Amino acid sequence: MHFGIEVVPFGPYSDPRLVVELAQAAEAAGWEAITLWDHVLFPYGTGDPWVTLAAVAVVTQRIKLCTDVAPLPRYSPHVLARTLIALDILSQGRVILGAGAGVDFDFTPVDPDSTPRQRAAIFDESLAILEHLLAGAAGTHHGEHFAFENVQLVPGPVQQPRIPIWIGGDSPAAYRRAARWDGWVIGTVDEQQNITLAPAQIAARVAAIHGHRTSAAPFAVAVAGCTAAGQADLPAAYAEAGATWWFESLFASRGSHEEMLARIKAGPPR
């Protein structure tokens, strides 16, 4: 099991400086990654994950930099690829793209004609484009939503064959989609720290994903939840269910910034 921190960038954590402080403390305490949510309108103004992760990249050396998850239908795939490659170069190969189709309440206020079906189609087409662009390869694409001829982003990313992609979402479509990529990422608690997906439920979902897998390559299963310092039994139960990453979820309703820092400094729940 690997251990990281998940920062929900609402309220105080919309300030990149506070997230940078959490990330530096996490690296010093032995955590292996930081991941950020990517919303614009839920539940109110939120921090920008790309600016924040770039700031984290500059002041850390080892921790991986993730999103959980970036809604691809919001982005032009070639512009997002440029951002990711720049972040991968800046961090010297520490980026993981956590991606999803997005949720209605984060889209409809600014894109009222958007539907889940349309966003799912854009999501899949964007993933196909990113597969090539995030490998630094030249590509031509003619699809329903995007088209380009012989496009290549130079320089390419540090990571080869490409930047890893983890898929978020809790639906049969998300499980099928995740099976085609490098990992699946999901939360297991609500904002009151109640468990919403127990280990047995994660095990069933992992089995469903692996039922669609056709590759023998390593596959990440990342779950986010809450533990007290030294509480190793809960992550161990999720590891038994098939999780390979535990992300300690940090958010304002869980406690003060000082309390979140103290939890980080106490170290991963091994």
Each residue's pLDDT tens digit, 98-125: 999 998 888 888 888 889 999 999 999 9
Q: Is residue 270 one of the residues assigned to a domain?
A: no
Q: What mean pLDDT do residues 238-264 have?
A: 97
pLDDT exceeds 90 at position 184: yes
SS3 131: helix
Domain coverage including residue 9 = 2-265
Q: Is residue 110 one of the residues assigned to a domain?
A: yes
Q: Is residue 34 one of the residues assigned to a domain?
A: yes
Record the pTM. Answer: 0.96
Q: How far apart are CA 221 and CA 3, in angstroms?
A: 12
Structure tokens at 76: 């032009």
Q: Is residue 45 one of the residues assigned to a domain?
A: yes
| Number of folded domains that form the chain | 1
* Cβ partners under 8 Å of residue 235, min gap 6: 1, 3, 225, 227, 243, 246, 269, 270
Q: Is residue 186 one of the residues assigned to a domain?
A: yes
Q: Is residue 98 one of the residues assigned to a domain?
A: yes
Angle (nearest 5°) at CA 238 between 237 and 243: 145
Q: What mean pLDDT do residues 17-28 have?
A: 98
CATH number at residue 243: 3.20.20.30
**Tell me, what's the pLDDT at 112?**
85
Average pLDDT of the chain to the nearest whole number:
96
pLDDT exceeds 90 at position 264: yes
* Cβ partners under 8 Å of residue 79, min gap 6: none
**Tell me, what's the pLDDT at 99?**
98
